[in-house]
Structure 1
Amino acid sequence: MRSYRLKSLLLAVATAGAMASGLASANDKPIKLGGLYILSGSAASYGEFASQGLQMAIDEINEQGGVLGRPLNLLMEDDQGRAATGIQAARKLVYQDGVSALIGLDSSGVALGLVPVLPELETPLIITHAATPHATGKLCNEYSFRVSVNESQNMRAAAEIASKLDAKRWTTIGPDYAFGHESWEIFSENMKELAPDAEMMKETAFPRFGAEDFTPFINNIMEQKPDGILISVWGGDLVNFIRQAHNLNFFNQGYELMFTVGAATEALAALGDQMPEGVWLGTRYWYESHDSERNTKFVNDYRERYKTPPSYNAEGAYSAVYAVKAAIEKAGSAEPKDVAKALVGLTIDSPAASERTFRVGDNQALVGPTWGRAGPMSADGIRSLTEIHNFKGADITPPVEKTGCTL
């Protein structure tokens, strides 16, 4: 009998030990984050900067003990700027890799495809670049969040500047998909309110994304003799557009030019002094325009690590990781559903804003863009910004009832 009891006791101790060991192992298991960006093709530099921002944040957090005592682990996928590829990659990250959250998206087209699928995935997505307002508007759901500036915010800011300029006849050149068309539509709506006497021309140009020859589009716009032009081409398209525009004497016509994301350091670095001085450049974040300890440390650490100043995509990705960290700590759980619930209404301290809040009602961060004129070349080998306007998110974000979101 004593032998039986001893064996039972030893079995119980062994079982408890194994359970404790398994629990400790589970508690030490990395928390996986999935990154979805364009990592190939003409816009690959945007994905590269985002990857750097993600990894820097993860390394900082892991050096401080991780989240809930668990390290963060980054898994990256190339969505190639295609909705179908992005959806497939997101499913892999969720179902095969078991990520707690998704971070990413460069293309509004990918966002429009992936956001409606998120309820099926039951995993939060924090958008850091794609700017279509519909991702936190009419397509919104409990798993869709955005930490960066959207088109509604950026185009309101652009219109506030444009309405004070002498230009009265406005047209646009932008990519022939959601980002280009929505930028023009929202800019036009705001101009009608802020400058009722401005003419929003019907003659516009929408070359396909990835077009190699912008010459016919530039010539067509020049023939229409506008006063001001909103230009929303980006990435490698922006670089090609500016180089070809120089050859056509486009920048000597006296136009007021507003590049919606022209102050992306990825494009500025590629262009150098080919970016014309004096044009208006927009960006979701400008590394020199935020006077805070948080931003100073971020910029210095990024420069030291990557030998270049951070882009807005790097800052957005970096801030998204810290948002996930805060959400996991708030929830006390890394389960995707718990993380999604904890992100609602969450406020974080970030390089771009000391109080960056995911607004209750549409999960859009209240964060503002930066606009400025392209100035002299800086020590970083890119155009500096002058006449800088840092817009406050609360001032240029449409109210929830106007977004189409019905969370």
Structure 2
Amino acid sequence: MTQSFIWRRKALKLAVSALGAGALGQVSRRVRAAPENASDAASAVAPIKLALIESMSGPFANTGEAVFRNVLWAVERVNARGGVKLPGGARRLEIERYDSKGQNEEALSALRAAMDGGARIVLQGNSSATAAALVDAIDKNNARDPSRRMLFLNYSAVDPILTNERCSFWHFRFDAHADMRVTALMDVVKDDAALRQVYLIGQDYSFGQAVLRESRRQLGALRPDVQIVGEELHPMGRVKDFAPYASKILSSGAQAVITGNWGNDLTLLVKAAREAGFNGTFYTFYGNALGAPAAIGDAGIGRVIAVADWLPNVQTPQSEAFYREFRTRFPKPADDYVHMRMQLMIESLAQAFQNAGSTDAVAVARALERADVTLAGQRGRMRAEDHQFQQQLVVGVMDRQGTPGVRFDVEGSGYGFRVLKTVAAEKAEMPNSCKMQRP
């Protein structure tokens, strides 16, 4: 099936076509974001293909679509200024979407299709298990076929192992890993003098396990007086009714829940807890969007805490302008989920291409190791020794829009997040155990 259409906004033109990729029914959509008045040189040179491999269908389709909007906007920004400047002429960036359907096998099929289609940059993040499978496949491919080496840019897969024991020269992470996020949350937990009992719950795969493990460790170190009254892992993406889990939380006497859940696994959990009558605090990684605030409602005011690399209510003129620009580009309330780190990721990639003066994977990787970018007042830099991006983190608490510090709400819900703490990049940084094997 092939379909194309044109979106126009100011000087931007977006051409979208759906193509059959040929691998196990894998479907890709090629998306080229380019300025209407792009230079002849940029137009004449083949675009640089970026393969986005994500769940575009199934229970986590909303997370994949949110990523796509963010990457698209970032690519549009690069292309609007003429693309990536290279010795042979400026080149635009082009996104190709591949639906992993939330399955590692499908993601690996997508990787093969992307490689055959000419993409040498892979973007993925919504599943650390999938990320680990992709890292392994890319490592093997790059050793076996140097002429088709690929780089993997990871924006959300935050299992710490990916930049520690299983670090790879070909993999770069642009999100704070789980231990870094837990540390930021614990900076708030340690100050909650009334807290005595907590419940730990997460998705049963590498990431969810890592969150619970590190939460347990840090609670023991920072708040030995706090009792863990329950600890549970549940199947990822398969639970439709969280009422039994909510009942356990309520009967445990927990005053707070710590969870790394994301997507529908978070939304359904907090909704079930609200309906069960739980009025404690949720300490979350992703409670600030994708339906969670609306599902919680007034019960979340002052009780839902989220950690992120950035929040819309960061109080700077640059941040506000950045957010307003995104909402102008994507005005639907359901599309209101912008990730600063994904913008910095594409800016870092563009910078690396230009600093390398080449699209060669090794040259670009070495340039990406030195990436240092700033957008809307937010700076990020890549740490070469483990390929872990270093940036500030913020912790916010849910409140009603219009209250002090909450100018913007989330997804038209009427609720937003007021910034409680800003963790400087230097404080968020953590040691690593990576022993990088370099080509």
| TM-score between both structures, scaled by the size of structure 1 | 0.85
Does structure 1 retain, via aligned residues, the 8 Å contact 2:202–2:260? yes
Q: Please list, as runs of the form range in 1=range in 2, the aligned pairs for 1:5-404 lying within 5 A after superposition.
A: 28-68=45-85, 69-94=90-115, 96-121=116-141, 122-165=149-192, 166-201=194-229, 203-210=230-237, 211-251=239-279, 255-263=280-288, 265-268=289-292, 271=295, 273=297, 276-284=300-308, 285-289=310-314, 291=316, 293=318, 295-308=319-332, 314-351=339-376, 354-377=378-401, 380=409, 381-382=412-413, 383-386=415-418, 388-400=420-432, 404=433
Aligned counterparts of 1:183 and 1:305: Cα–Cα separation in 2? 34
5+ unaligned residues in a row in structure 1: which ranges?
1-23
Secondary structure at the aligned position of 1:161 is classed as helix
Q: Is the 8 A contact 2:42 2:92 kept in 1?
A: no
Does structure 2 conserve the Cα–Cα contact (< 8 Å) formed by 1:53 and 1:318?
yes
Cα separation, 2, equivalents of 1:370 and 1:161: 11
Residues 322/387 of structure 1: CA separation in 2 closer, same or farther (3 Å cut) = closer
C-alpha displacement of 1:387:
5.1
The amino acid of 1:154's aligned partner reads: R
Shift of 1:208: 1.1
Q: Which residue of 2 aligns with 1:7?
A: none
**Which residue does 1:405 correspond to in 2?**
434
Q: What is the CA deviation profile of residues 148-198 of structure 1, one whole-angstrom value per residue up to 9, with x for unaligned ones?
A: 121011001111211111212222121111222211111121222222333
Structure possessing the higher relative contact order (Cα contacts under 8 Å, 6 or more residues apart): 1
Moved >4 Å (runs of 4+): 24-27, 308-313
How far did 1:262 drift? 0.6
Larger strand proportion of the pair: 2
Q: Which amino acid aligns with 1:133?
A: P
- CA distance in 1 between counterparts of 2:299 and 2:49 reads 39
More helix by share: 1
Alpha-carbon deviations, 1:99-155, whole Å to 9, x = none? 231122211221122222222243211111121111111110101111112101100
1:56-114 CA distance string (max 9 Å, x none): 121222221111211111111122222222222122212x1222311222112211222
In our comparison, the structure showing a higher alpha carbon Rg is 1
Distance (Å, rounded) in 2 between the aligned partners of 1:313 and 1:77? 21
8 Å contact from structure 2 (residues 267, 295) kept in 1? yes
Question: Gapped runs of 5+ residues in structure 2?
Answer: 1-40, 142-148, 403-407
CA RMSD of aligned residues (A): 2.4
Of all paired residues, the percent bearing the same amino acid is 21
Q: Secondary structure at the match of 1:250?
A: coil
Total equivalences in the alignment: 373
CA distance, structure 1, for counterparts of residue 201 and residue 401 of structure 2 = 26
Structure 2 distance, partners of 1:236, 1:181, is 18
Distance 2:344 2:336 in 1: 12
What is the TM-score of this pair, normalised by structure 2?
A: 0.79
Report the CA distance shift for 1:109/1:229 in structure 2 as closer, same or farther (over 3 A). Answer: same
**What amino acid maps onto 1:129 in structure 2?**
S
Q: What is the letter of the counterpart of residue 80 of structure 2?
A: E
2:416 aligned partner, one-letter code:
S
